[in-house]
Structure 1
Amino acid sequence: MRILLTGSNGQLGNALHAPLGQQGSVYAPLRNELDLSNPDQVRQCIREFKPDLIINPAAYTAVDLAETEEKLAHAVNAEAPAIMAEEARKLGAGLVHYSTDYVFDGEKLDQHGQVIPYLETDTTNPQNVYGKTKLAGEQAIQSSGCRHLILRTSWVYSLHGKNFLLTILRLARERDQLRIVNDQWGTPNSAAWLAETSCSLLAGLQQANTPADWWAEHAGLYHFSAAGKANWFEFATAIVTLADRQNKLNKAAPALTGISSSEYPTPARRPHNSLLGTQKLQDQFALDLPHWQDCLQECMQGLDQTAAQTA
């Protein structure tokens, strides 16, 4: 199977590269070889490589900057996936595309005012440019007629690149006190776990009688997340606690204080509720989901000081 992987230098793309190699021949062009803001380059890359499967974790993810770079965000998050879907349909190839909790407004609550998970059937209502462009990408894929999986996830972290985990580790070494938002809820997701589980989902593709049979049974939109919930303060506390336990801070652990979103204003509005209900994914692929804290602990077992200092 010929696999085209975008965004191999990003968190999820980096984590996907090696395990995908066990499922086929992977072509993972770098940004100078495949610029997703260049429609002609996207078409040319796909037409020349002729993949059986396109995996697209690449995205414009600078959420605040997107508020002033809407055209670029739309090109990468909406137009490029639309082209991938169109070319995949022409080739009879499949497309796996990763999306985000930001397609929702973050206001879903139960009758007691507590956050509850969003389902795939819930109405989307993005509140920032990033969310709007990611939703446009989803919609383009769904209307294209190509074989596809759209996997919405949230709060992705790893020991690669720039993310909340590495930022907290760096700040924990530099400061004696940290103030962290405690009124935004979601589920942290390890890029390594997302990559490993993605490959498990796709393993059945080669075992099916034909690819068409597999896609007919499994194609669609799914929420893709580990189990459990946390706010950013709780996530940060778990990171600092583990790092301190592993003696990776080289100082006393900082004191953490929870603050409201209003005390930490950002150009782009963040959802209050980023929880994603995953029952559809569990039922369709017979998955048992690990708790996010177990994934975090496994991720941080690979932590060294160099990784923590690169954030």
Structure 2
Amino acid sequence: MIRSGSRERILVTGAGGQLGKELVQLLKVKNIEVYGLARDQLDITDCDTVLKQVEQLSPTAIIHAAAYTQVDRAEAEPEIAFRCNAIGTRNVAVAAAKVGAKLVYVSTDYVFDGSEGSSYNEWSKTSPINVYGQSKLAGEQFVRHHHNRFFIVRTSWVYGAYGNNFVKTMLKLGAEHGAVRVVEDQVGSPTYTYDLAMTIIAMLQTEKYGLYHISNTGKCSWFEFAQEIFKQAKMEVQVTPISTSDMPRPAARPAYSVMEPVMLRLNDFPLLPTWQQALHHYLQNNRTD
């Protein structure tokens, strides 16, 4: 169990990223001993380095948030994506198992092809349509093969206080130009790093291992998300809907990647707030203008 002031030690990989920074801050607030290692502090692709570092810190749990997330670039450099998301995850899983640490691996909705037109639950068939999704799915498989006390957490459309994300981009473009063009034929669930991190921390207090879909409740298109951002931010911005074909990119995106949180319900974890409520919390607490 993770208790305030206990001897629990949590290692967070990818501590320089959106979710990693959020996790480190929240764990500190809860007075849990946390070691946040960013990319320049831990090369997850080096097996020996990972083993040495993990053995040195001897954490009771590892939250593996480090990842190669350049979705479009991955199409041109697949081996780099797989080296980080697959081999790097294998290294962390092996090290976690060796020291007896629980493991959380953060995965993605991009393991699905988006062709179903209905929500995906944890038992839905995976079929990634881009290199990024393929590499993250390979990471899931390595976790299953090398560890037996794990939480695989698939999430989607992540934004938060740290780093760059869609919400910050929309606010910036809206303020600068007063108009934006946004894709309307991709549907998913925005996820606020604060809500995601709080759920991950709560899960680590249990032995309810398995695969989980964790996003804020509800669904929207990127176009609807942008509309809601400007509505809540009280900004007069013209939002023009466009199709995916109007903005071609190297990597294909799933058209419908809404995920159903069946495992949260089955294991009596609370569902996350709606994506509109989460956006409100973010804007109330993180606006800099």
Give the TM-score, by structure 1 length: 0.87
2:254, 2:11 → 1: CA distance?
32
* Counterpart among 4, 10, 21 of residue 3 in structure 1: 10
Change (3 A) 1:186 1:200: same
Say which of 109, 124, 138 aligns to 2:126. 124
Structure 1 distance, partners of 2:65, 2:187, is: 23
Equivalent pair of 2:111/2:126 in contact (CA under 8 Å): yes
1:40 is paired with a residue of what secondary structure? helix
Aligned mate of 1:12, from 4, 15, 19: 19
Map of 1:156 onto structure 2 = 158
Aligned runs of 1:162-201 on 2, under 5 Å? 162-201=164-203
Which whole-Å CA distance do the structure 2 matches of 1:146 and 1:88 have between them? 10
| Unmatched tracts of structure 1, length 5 or more | 110-115, 206-213, 307-311
Q: Distance in 1 between matches of 2:193 and 2:79?
A: 27
Q: Which amino acid aligns with 1:64?
A: D
Determine the C-alpha separation between the residues in 2 that align with 1:149 and 1:118. 18
Give the Cα separation in 1 of the matches to 2:19 and 2:272.
18
Aligned partners of 1:56 and 1:31: how far apart in 2?
Answer: 12
Which amino acid letter does the alignment assign opposite residue 37 of structure 1? T
> 3-state SS of the aligned residue for 1:256?
strand
Inter-partner Cα distance in structure 1 for 2:38 and 2:190: 27
The answer to whether the 8 Å contact 1:88/1:146 transfers is no
CA distance in 2, matches of 1:302, 1:69: 37
Q: How many residues align?
A: 281
User: Residues 172-202 of structure 1, C-alpha deviation per residue, up to 9 Å, x if partnerless?
Assistant: 0111321100010000010111111222222
Q: Give the Cα–Cα distance (whole angstroms) in 2 for the partners of residues 188 and 222 of structure 1.
A: 16
User: 2:227 maps to which residue?
Assistant: 237
Q: Which runs of 5+ in 2 are unaligned?
A: 1-7
Match of 2:10, as an amino acid?
I
Q: Which residue of 2 aligns with 1:223?
A: 213
Whichever residue aligns with residue 25 of structure 2, its letter is: A
- Judged with a 3 Å threshold, the aligned counterparts in structure 2 of structure 1 residues 262 and 192 are, in CA distance, closer, same or farther, namely same
1:144/1:4 Cα in 2 relative to 1: closer, same or farther (>3 Å)? same
Measured after TM superposition, the shift of residue 73 of structure 1 is 1.1
RMSD: 1.4
For 2:80, give the aligned amino acid.
L
**In structure 2, the residue corresponding to 1:305 is in which secondary structure?**
coil
Match of 2:102 in 1: 94
Q: Which one of the candidate residues 253, 271, 283 is aligned to 2:254?
A: 271
Q: Hey, what's the Cα distance between the residues in 2 that align with 1:176 and 1:5?
A: 39
3-state SS of 2:211 partner: strand
Question: Counterparts of 1:300 and 1:176 in 2: how far apart (Å)?
Answer: 19
> AA paired with 2:285?
G
CA distance in 2, matches of 1:24, 1:290: 25
CA 145–58 in structure 1, closer or farther in 2 if over 3 Å, else same: closer
Q: CA deviation at 1:23?
A: 6.0
Q: What is the distance in 1 between the residues matched to 2:202 and 2:140?
A: 22
Give per-residue Cα distances to partners, 1:22-54, cap 9 Å, x unaligned. Answer: 263111123222122333322221121111100
Q: Deviations over 1:46-94 (max 9, x none)?
A: 1211111001111111100111121221111111111111122222211
Q: SS at the partner of 1:285?
A: coil
Percent pairwise identity: 42
Match of 1:98, as an amino acid? V
